[in-house]
Amino acid sequence: MEKFSPVGEREITQAIVTEFAREFNEMIASDCIIVGGGPSGLVAGRDLARAGKKVVIVERNNYLGGGFWSGGFLMPKVTVRHPAEKVLDEIGVPYKTVSRGLVVCDAPHACSSLISAACAAGVKILNMVMLEDIVIKEGRVCGVVINWSPIASLPRQVAALDPIAIEARVIIDATGHDATVVKKLEQRGLLKCKGEGAMWIEKSEDLIVEHTGECYPGLIVTGMAVGTVWGLPRMGPTFGSMFLSGRRAAEIAMRKIEEREKQQ
């Protein structure tokens, strides 16, 4: 049997600390910070990274994928309506056409492939990290204030632990139904969320993609967060609009990043 290389504790610890510090240093200023690593954030991140942009996803869990691991009612089958199955084709996920314009695939296969595609494109991930606040300068969102997510469960007297901030040319709120980045603007009276509407699958997906965009200078909203901001109907257990909203967010972000590059 081949023996493992004779590497000890010190080298292992050094490898972790050095690599993390090097990469984290690179994340302090990027083209785009995406808060939330669900399907919309992953598609947006992949598209931007493929176009050569420096992208960081901030995710409060220790895994990416958000609500994409299970299709609905805890059953791991994901439905996607036409034309969004093209994203499944791009990332090599097999699916079955169940009726005209509707496909179904395995959630773990689709979710793990999308995560892998985003990482392979060059997206950098800060996981176990939560958004605590935003940075606003001269009427524009230009960064996020972050902290380790486990501190949220510490008692208040222990958890007065200062966060840090990282900056980017554009920020994307991909935090799903909670729209946590946008809510930071709402808390300050800078924007009013209409709150998510009731389910109406035939209408919701087109509306989510149509309303994807910049909701405040420097902040783009994508995925289910769009429904919360604009009061759009939820679409329940179907994911096509998460893909195409993420794609639209990336297209808009690309233009904004280029505008900022010229201004700075």
Binding site for ligand 48F (CB under 6 A): 35-41, 58-61, 66-68, 130-131, 174-176, 178, 180, 223-225, 235, 237-239, 242
Min separation Cβ 24 and ligand 48F, Å: 16
Beta carbon nearer to ligand 48F, 15 or 82: 82
Closest by Cα among 232, 196, 263, 244 to 40: 244
Beta carbon nearer to ligand 48F, 131 or 219: 131
Q: Rounded to an integer, what distance in angstroms lies between the CA atom of residue 118 and that of residue 76?
A: 21
| β-strand partners of 129 | 148
Min separation Cβ 61 and ligand 48F, Å: 5
Alpha helices by DSSP H, the chain:
9-27, 39-50, 85-90, 107-121, 180-187, 201-211, 224-230, 240-263
Q: How far is CA 133 from its chain centroid?
A: 16
Beta carbon nearer to ligand 48F, 9 or 162: 162
| β-strand partners of 205 | none
Beta carbon nearer to ligand 48F, 110 or 130: 130
Min separation Cβ 32 and ligand 48F, Å: 15
Beta carbon nearer to ligand 48F, 35 or 166: 35
**258-250-28 Cα angle (round to 5):** 65
CB 124 within 8 A of CB 56: yes
| Per-residue DSSP letter, 55 | E
Whole-angstrom Cα Rg for the chain: 19
Min separation Cβ 58 and ligand 48F, Å: 5
| Per-residue DSSP letter, 67 | G
Beta carbon nearer to ligand 48F, 27 or 131: 131
Min separation Cβ 75 and ligand 48F, Å: 13
Min separation Cβ 73 and ligand 48F, Å: 12
